[in-house]
Structure 1
Amino acid sequence: MYTVLYRWKIHHGKQDAFISGWEVITDHYLANHGALGARLHKISDNNFAAYAQWASKEARDIAFSLNDAPQQAVEKMQESIISSLYPIEMYVISDKLNYNKAKQSNA
């Protein structure tokens, strides 16, 4: 499994627009390109991190090369971002995340 970690600093007052854009784009990759899932985390008021999982690096590279994410959502995210750190690419070697327990605690 291939995972990418992203980090952004967001303009004050643009957090909702950023989150909304991220959700639309993530849903697009889930529905159309086989993404395995993603989570967005708030680090502090204007700092966010997310990680996305894919079956392979090749699957992500193909999906991104199509450049077909909803343009309005892409623009919404881009207008919200002050800066982005370089993505960190990772490969899962041990997975102890309890998906069922996580779903129960969010219910």
Structure 2
Amino acid sequence: MFAVIYQGYLKPNRENEYQEAWNKVAQFFIQKRGALGSCLHRTSDGLWVAYSRWPNKETRDNSWPGDSAPSEELPYEIRNAVLTIKDCLDPDRKIPDICMEVINDLL
């Protein structure tokens, strides 16, 4: 199993827009691209953290081409939601994704 942690701080007043776009993208990847699930969190200092799980790295990489996302293979509304997510993030506080192999799973 493979997991990714996405982290970032949002631009002011973009929380609702970010949550709606994240929900749309996460549901699409679960329903259509093989993701096993995703969860969105916010810390007390305003850091937004999303955690997604995939059966393997290949499935995730085929759906999410990293910094070149969104892939042209995705439906227009999903590409647009990915762009919205990126636009909501504060570029001055960018945090790299954390990609991990799941070793022991008790969730």
Q: Which amino acid aligns with 1:6?
A: Y
Measured after TM superposition, the shift of residue 31 of structure 1 is 1.2
Structure whose residues are more often strand by fraction:
1
Write out aligned runs for 1:10-29 (5 A): 10-29=10-29
In 2, Cα distance between equivalents of 1:43 and 1:57: 27
TM-score for both structures, normalised by structure 2: 0.81
Q: Who wins on radius of gyration, i.e. which is larger?
A: 1
What residue ranges of structure 2 are gaps of 5+ in the alignment?
Answer: none
Between the two proteins, what is the percent identity of the paired residues? Answer: 28
| Structure 2 equivalent of residue 73 of structure 1 | 81
Moved over 2 A (4+): none
Task: State how many pairs are aligned.
Answer: 97
Q: CA RMSD in A?
A: 1.7
Gaps of 5+ in 1: 98-107
Question: What TM-score do the two structures reach when normalised by structure 1?
Answer: 0.81
1:2-42 deviation digits (Å, cap 9, x = unpaired): 00011011011101111111111111111111100010001
Q: CA-to-partner distance for each residue in 1:34-73, whole Å, 9 max, x for gaps?
A: 1000100011363200110000001111122481161221
